[in-house]
């Protein structure tokens, strides 16, 4: 694969399993009236980690859009809140790619504290490659599909996590 076929970012693997993105801290403006990180900022943190995951490891995301006019859109997401994140608390996000095909990817991410690695939240999401000109889904270029397939393979041996695939709803006995 020549460098002209890729975005110039990312690499062909093997990939860490899982991928960890460090350097997050709950900012004062992210704290709500309950004294913990507001629900919306969990999504911001997961999205920021996803961009690092996409660009640094796969060569997708912002660099892909700049070069080819196509990129990933989140089309479904499920957040699971496990514990509060307080102002100033440092955390990191672990990401694993569960599955991918020629247009889509399915990932699972965990937010953990830096201090004791306590689980704070999870996100499971589905993304799709979209052409910015048409607004419609488009297959990934061959180099990107190969990287996604390699990452799925590299992450396939990770231990199962109970939150993956869980439905949302009121549980009744």
* pLDDT score, position 171: 84
**Intra-chain end-to-end CA distance of the chain, in Å:** 55
pLDDT for 2 equals 37
- What is the rounded CA–CA span in Å between residue 91 and residue 23? 7
The pLDDT value given to residue 1? 37
What's the whole-model pTM score? 0.92
Domains and CATH numbers, the chain: 15-155 (3.10.129.10)
* DSSP for residue 32: -
Kindly give the parts of the chain with pLDDT less than 70. Answer: 1-8
**What's residue 3's pLDDT?**
40
Q: What is the pLDDT of residue 7?
A: 62
Q: What is the pLDDT of residue 144?
A: 95
Q: How far is CA 135 from CA 21, 44, 59, 125, 142, in A?
A: 29, 23, 21, 20, 20
Q: Give residue 13's pLDDT.
A: 93
Number of neighbouring beta carbons within 10 Å of residue 105? 23
> What's the CA gap between 44 and 12, in Å, rounded?
27
């Amino acid at each position: 694969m020549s460098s002209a076929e890729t975005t110039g970012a990312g690499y062909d693997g093997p990939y860490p399993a899982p991928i960890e993105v460090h350097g997050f801290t709950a900012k004062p403006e992210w704290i709500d009236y309950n004294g913990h990180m507001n629900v919306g900022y969990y999504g911001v943190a997961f999205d920021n980690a996803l961009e690092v995951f996409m660009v640094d490891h796969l060569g997708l995301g912002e660099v892909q859009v700049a070069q080819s006019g196509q990129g990933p859109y989140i089309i479904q997401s499920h957040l699971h809140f496990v514990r509060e994140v307080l102002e100033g608390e440092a955390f990191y996000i672990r990401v694993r790619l569960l599955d991918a095909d020629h247009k889509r990817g399915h990932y699972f991410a965990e937010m953990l504290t830096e201090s004791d690695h306590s689980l704070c939240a999870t996100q499971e999401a589905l993304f799709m490659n979209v052409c910015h000109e048409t607004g419609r889904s488009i297959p990934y270029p061959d180099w990107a599909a190969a990287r996604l397939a390699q990452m799925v393979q590299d992450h396939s041996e990770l231990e199962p996590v109970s939150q993956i695939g869980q439905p949302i709803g009121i549980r009744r006995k």
